[in-house]
Amino acid sequence: MADSANGTKLGTLRILRRYLFKSMAGEDLNEVFVTFSGLVGDRAYAFVDRNKHSNFPWMTARERHEMLLFRPRYLEAPDPANEHPSASSFKAEVLSPEGEKLSPSDSCFTAYFEKRFGHELELRFSERAMQDACPVSLLGLPTVRALSDEAGIPLEHTRFRANFYIDWENEKPYYEDELVGSSLRIGEKFIFTVVENNMRCAIITLDPATAQASPEVGKLVARNHGNCFGVYGSVLQEGIVRQGDPVFAFNGTKVK
């Protein structure tokens, strides 16, 4: 870890990812504006399963693994310099695994997925991200490499669906677990607090490129890591985040 006028440098943001449609494929970003509710455009679209009667109403890849193979994109992505993008900035299309282009604005969009997945669905859109827990998520790249070694198979970072992937200065696997309760700054303005460990579900057992399941990955995380992998954060100050930004301990936060 290096000290500078900005504080203690803990690492570097190597990969920045957004998930336009809940439980579908994500996309790498060069930069994005992060609000108090998360990355602009993150989890803006989602399906509700009308037959679910619980506090988790979403239709996800847990039920239909192939959801991961659908690739959504914004037709004109929200400009990171615009803190309050217009509704037109969120116009999107979804590419099916077979290469068919689908538009959420089409009347037949939901019906297509109802027929394919065999569920009664309702399409939701919100400019405020529809996450499962906190506004942002973070995972150390040394942690991904360490779990690959534990599992004995290469595991892509995309499997774990975080927003921020960090290379820590100390190269320590699972270092993010030690930062729970700490506040961090990424780039010039964006500040967040690491509030809790990320409790994992079956989606981490799915290969994001094929949707094939490897249950042993979930069992390994449950057995060796208390079923947690990565951390969640709550936003203290909004700002633009860019790939390659340094990650600092904020405002005298003591780190191990």
In the structure, how many helices (H) and strands (E) does the chain have? 3, 17
Token pair for 196:
């809790």
Token pair for 158:
């995309």
For residue 132, give the DSSP letter.
S
Hey, what domains does the chain have and what are their CATH numbers?
2-249 (2.40.33.20)
This prediction has a pTM of 0.94
Query: In this structure, are residues 129 and 43 in contact, taking their beta carbons and an 8 Å threshold?
Result: yes
Tell me which H or E stretch contains 225.
helix 215-225
Using alpha carbons, select from 240, 237, 194, 175 the residue that is nearest to residue 16: 240
How many beta carbons lie within 10 A of that of residue 128, not counting itself?
Answer: 14
Tell me which H or E stretch contains 2.
strand 2-4
How confident is the model at residue 54, as a pLDDT? 81
DSSP 151-180: HTS---GGGG--SEEEEETT--TTGGGGGT
For the chain, the residue count is 256
Which sign does the torsion angle of CA 80, 84, 85, 87 carry?
A: positive
pLDDT tens track, the chain, 256 positions:
656 556 799 999 999 999 999 999 999 999 999 999 999 999 999 999 999 888 889 999 999 999 999 999 999 989 999 888 988 899 999 999 999 999 999 999 999 999 999 999 999 999 989 998 899 999 999 999 999 999 999 999 999 999 999 999 999 999 999 999 999 999 999 999 999 999 999 999 999 999 999 999 999 999 999 999 999 999 999 999 999 999 999 875 655 5
Residue keyed to tokens 């964006």: 190
Q: Which residues pair with 153 in a beta bridge?
A: none
